[in-house]
């Protein structure tokens, strides 16, 4: 990686905060990432803005130290914050960041938006983020944004919803509503019980157990890869619903699929041979003729920095090599 004098360039500060983790990264205007840090996560609608900013402060200060710069060297800040869902939330977070860190230009948005830029080196398109939950966003050529948020119903809410639906397949199989499934021993093992009656009791009476189900997502996908009928039907249905949401968003925003890319981001879509990713990709290409579907290449905090370049009107193509090389060095490539 080229070694350039950091002081010769302005800097973009990227922030990504979700319920699990808060990340910060510093990028020079030439695209090289020169500092990064992480802290615990937060969700400001539940914890309040001030408490949510505490891990942001920790991550930002460490990222600036690792970059060897001060706050006064930051030309632009992009913050993707989970919980920015309603009009005015972005302004609340923007103003709080300015005040707390003495920053100048700050743009705050839902964390789904920065995930788009973690996969697409362009200014407009769409993103689907599937982790514990699900969200998505569209950005048109004029920069207008739409974030799905709670428009996506609970049964489409990412890994948690998919795991609950997989468990329902187990109950359906017990009743004879679908064929026997390899999902049954998977969930019995997770619950530490020997029969479906006991599994149902744990599910209905223990909230902590219901929350644990999301950790079975990798195994649920593996069951589908074996050709298990119930698991495959589950993924077919789930992917079809996701595709319908994206298609509706394109219509709502008046976007032409032939001119856009859709980025798939989040842990649920990880893996080259992921059977859910395959189904969603095929479905999107069939439903939105001409659209490009790509997977996120970087951690979302890098997307925040790239979004900063876009908002500053900078050309991305000449900076892609520097972004890729520095992200690899700092462990910010998406595995």
Average pLDDT over the chain, rounded to an integer: 93
Residue 5 has what pLDDT? 41
Which residue do the tokens 């890098």 mark?
302
* DSSP H or E segment with residue 147: strand 145-147
DSSP for residue 83: T
Q: What is the pTM of this model?
A: 0.89
| Domains by residue range for the chain, with CATH | 6-111+298-329 (3.30.420.40), 119-296 (3.30.420.40)
pLDDT tens-digit readout, 135-183 = 999 999 999 999 998 899 989 989 999 999 999 999 999 999 999 999 9
Query: Is the pLDDT score of 1 beyond 50?
Result: no
> Which of 324, 317, 247 is closest to 284 using CA atoms?
247
Query: Is the pLDDT score of 309 beyond 50?
Result: yes
Long-range CB pairs of 135-141, under 8 A, 24+ apart, other chains included: 135/110, 135/111, 136/112, 136/245, 136/246, 136/249, 137/110, 137/112, 137/113, 138/249, 138/250, 138/252, 138/253, 138/255, 139/113, 140/253, 140/254, 140/255, 141/259
Average pLDDT over residues 216-245: 96
For 178, phi then psi, to 5°, come to -145, 165
Query: Is the pLDDT score of 3 beyond 70?
Result: no
Angle 156-294-311 from CA coordinates, rounded to 5°: 95
Tokens standing for residue 190: 């997770």
């Amino acid at each position: 990686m080229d070694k350039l004098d950091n002081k010769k360039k302005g800097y973009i500060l990227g922030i990504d905060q979700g319920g699990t983790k808060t990340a910060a990264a510093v990028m020079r205007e030439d695209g090289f990432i020169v500092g990064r840090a992480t802290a615990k996560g937060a969700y400001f609608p539940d914890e309040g803005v001030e408490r949510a900013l505490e891990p942001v402060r920790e991550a930002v200060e460490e990222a600036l130290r690792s970059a060897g710069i001060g706050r006064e060297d930051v030309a632009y800040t992009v913050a993707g914050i989970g919980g920015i869902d309603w009009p005015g939330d972005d302004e609340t977070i923007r103003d709080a960041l300015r005040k707390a860190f003495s920053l100048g230009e700050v743009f705050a948005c839902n964390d789904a938006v920065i995930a788009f830029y973690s996969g697409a080196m362009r200014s407009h398109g769409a993103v689907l983020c599937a982790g514990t939950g699900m969200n998505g966003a569209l950005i048109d050529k004029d920069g207008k944004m739409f974030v799905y948020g709670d428009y996506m119903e609970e049964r489409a809410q990412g890994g948690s919803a998919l795991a609950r639906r997989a468990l329902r397949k187990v109950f359906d199989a017990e009743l004879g509503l679908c064929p026997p499934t390899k999902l049954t021993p998977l969930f019995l093992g997770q619950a530490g019980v020997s029969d479906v009656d006991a599994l149902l009791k744990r599910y209905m009476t223990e909230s902590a157990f219901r929350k644990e189900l999301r950790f079975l997502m990798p195994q649920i996908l593996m069951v589908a890869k074996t050709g298990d009928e119930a698991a495959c039907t589950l993924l077919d249905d789930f992917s079809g619903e996701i595709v319908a949401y994206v298609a509706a968003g394109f219509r709502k925003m008046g976007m032409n699929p032939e001119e856009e890319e859709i980025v798939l981001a989040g842990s649920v879509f990880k893996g080259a041979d992921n059977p859910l990713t395959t189904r969603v990709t095929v479905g999107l290409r069939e439903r939105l003729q001409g659209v490009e579907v790509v997977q996120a290449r970087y951690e979302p905090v890098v997307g925040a920095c790239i979004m900063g370049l876009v908002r500053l009107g900078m050309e991305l193509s000449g900076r892609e090599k520097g972004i890729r090389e520095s992200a690899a060095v700092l462990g910010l490539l998406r595995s």
